[in-house]
Structure formats: C-alpha cells, structure tokens
Structure 1
C-alpha cells in the first residue's frame, strides 16, 4: 500500500480488503488536549435569584446502607420512626448533624445523616468511608 492520503471511508475499505496494513496517513490523527489534574471549583456557586449553593450540596454523593436501619424524623432514636431502609439501599446525604450517640455496624457515633426532609439515619449504618463529617452540617 502506498502512503497516499486517504479519507476515513477509503481507509476502512482498504483495511477491510486483503491488505490489512495501513499508514498513519490513512488512519488520520487526533488533536491532543491538556487536561489539568485539579479543577478549581469555587466554595460557593451563585444561582438565580441571588441564592447561593455550597459546593458540597452541588456534588451530592450516594452511600450504601450497611444494615437494616430505622429512618427517624430527627437525629435520635426518641424521634418518630418514619421509615426503614434495608441493607444495600443507597442514600444521598444532604447534611449531617450531631444527635444521640448510637452504636451500629460501623462503630459508635453521634453523627446523624439527613437523607430527606424530616428523614435521618445514624451515620453508623451508612458506609461513608469516614468516622467524621462527609457533608455540610445541617
């Protein structure tokens, strides 16, 4: 095969034939772009109407529940039970706050995770990868 310049369809036809060699000219090139390792993200993002959104809220993460757990209306077992989550369920933590100290599968902690309006679970039942806060405080 010669090193003549081919269009992409011609290059494919050439490769599909009996001669399966191709030159760089036949395949083409792509532009290479430089991507930074770290992206500079502001601490607070302005949104419509003058409101502000914290970066933590803008980058919500989902976490696995490690054992069956009751969902409470506040950060403690004395609050009303408003639901139940099974092991393996995933939750999004909008914020965290201190409350009743609980011992669960992940140890002992007073951190409670807010997973919805009036919906809290003890952080000891959620695999966050940390013994501390992983979301903004409520």
Structure 2
C-alpha cells in the first residue's frame, strides 16, 4: 500500500511539473465598451506626454495605473475583428476615477458585480440616477479609453466599440516585457499575417514556446517564438525577461 501511494505521488508530481503554462491562473477578462482617448500633447495620470499614434490604455481607477514608462499593469484588448493589442495602463478614465470594476473588492460602487463598469450600469440601467461619481450624466457605457495608436493601428477600430479586455496582472504565469512596439502574427514566422501589436513597455503573458523562423529584435536574434494566446505569436527576440517556458 505504501509503495502504491509513493508511486501515485510521483506520478502526480511529474504531471504537475509537466503542466503547460495555460494551467496557470487565468487573468480576469470582461467585455466592455472602448472609446478613443486622443488628447495628443496632453499629460496622462502617470506623467506621460501623449504622442501622435501613441499606444496605451486608460482605466477608471488608479488601482489599475502603471508608473511612467512601466507596463507592470498591462491589459490585452481584443476587438471583434480578431485583432488584439497588449497595452500598458497609463491614464485614468473614462468617466470615473474610483471604479476598479475588474476587482471583487471595489473602491466604489460595491453593490455592482465584478466586470460591470459603473458607467455601463448608469447608461444601461439608470444606476446612480444615470450619473457618474462626479454627477455628470453618462452618455456612453465607456469603461476603457485607448490611445490613438492602440485604437487605429493595434486594433484597427474606426469608432467606439465593444471589446474584450484581459487584466493581465490578475493572473499568474510567465511574462516578459516589450522594449519596443512590435507586431503580433498568427504564426511563428515573419511572413505570417499581422493580427495585433504589443506596445512598448507592455508586460505580456506567455503561454508556451515553439521553434519558428529566425528573427531579430531588441533582444537579439532567435528562432524561438512565444504563443501569447490562440493564433497570436511573438518572436522571443522581441520580449525581454521571459523565464524558460514549455513547448506548445
């Protein structure tokens, strides 16, 4: 009986060690309404001066705000056209400044469930009399703002739109940091179709690795590629600080 128990324990331990990166706790993901921030030349809540075709996101709470030139708090935003961008959160808004709707323990509006932005509840359900935290009547359900480059180039949106947003810091697993704006492709080769972008400073979750075409980036030259999510690949040469990850 003892020998059987030991064998079972070894088998379970080996299986646990062999689990792919997808077995890590998944980050929270919600469908919310996105708007374009614009405001080129203005300054974000973390001190970044907004550039033309910039790449970052804004959320309506400082609990989701990264420091300047940091991507510790990064979101993956995906449009209905299949394109995604990984973007650092560098500003606060839209509408509210204390609506961390991705958390269970919310700073304000604690009677709303996680994933239900206050502005959406105000717009759709007349929550809080249809007003935001400042008493303004909410005219759209916007819960994330996107810089122009993220909006137009990363996601190729033409107008405000419903998107899926994954709050990457709410999960775990291997990650790496992009030191430059980089294209995401649908296969592990430079000629594969472009399906999104990773913004400079974004901290990206990595699912697994594959061998592919050799490419050169900020981290040198490598034939290793990382699968970020289904159908989304980024060359290892473009991502710094990734620990060893298993094969896909």
TM-score interval, normalised by the smaller of the two chains: 0.5 to 0.7
- Give the match's secondary structure for 1:77: coil
Which of residues 226, 230, 236 in structure 2 aligns to 1:123?
236
Aligned to 2:19: 54
Query: Larger radius of gyration, structure 1 or 2?
Result: 1
* Gapped regions of structure 2 (runs ≥ 5): 1-11, 25-172
TM-score (norm 1): 0.57
User: How big is the shift at 1:61?
Assistant: 1.9
Aligned to 1:85: 198
Alignment partners' CA distance in 1, 2:20 and 2:226: 18
Contact 1:96/1:111, CA 8 A, preserved across alignment: yes
What is the correspondence of 1:1-138 to structure 2 with a 5 Å cutoff?
42-45=13-16, 54=19, 56-59=21-24, 60-128=173-241, 134-138=244-248
User: How big is the shift at 1:128?
Assistant: 2.4
Contact 2:224/2:236, CA 8 A, preserved across alignment: yes
User: How big is the shift at 1:88?
Assistant: 0.6
- Post-superposition Cα deviations, 1:72-107, rounded to whole Å, max 9, x if no partner, equal 000011110000111111111111001010111111
- Give the match's secondary structure for 2:190: coil
Task: Tell me: CA distance 1:121–1:73, structure 2 relative to 1, closer, same or farther (3 Å).
Answer: same
User: How big is the shift at 1:116?
Assistant: 0.4
TM-score (norm 2): 0.33
Task: Tell me: CA distance 1:129–1:96, structure 2 relative to 1, closer, same or farther (3 Å).
Answer: closer
- Give the match's secondary structure for 1:54: coil
- Give the match's secondary structure for 2:13: coil
Aligned to 1:34: none
User: How big is the shift at 1:57?
Assistant: 4.2
The ranges of structure 1 where at least 4 consecutive aligned residues each deviate by more than 6 angstroms after the TM superposition are none
Q: Which has the higher contact order (CA 8 A, sep 6+)?
A: 2
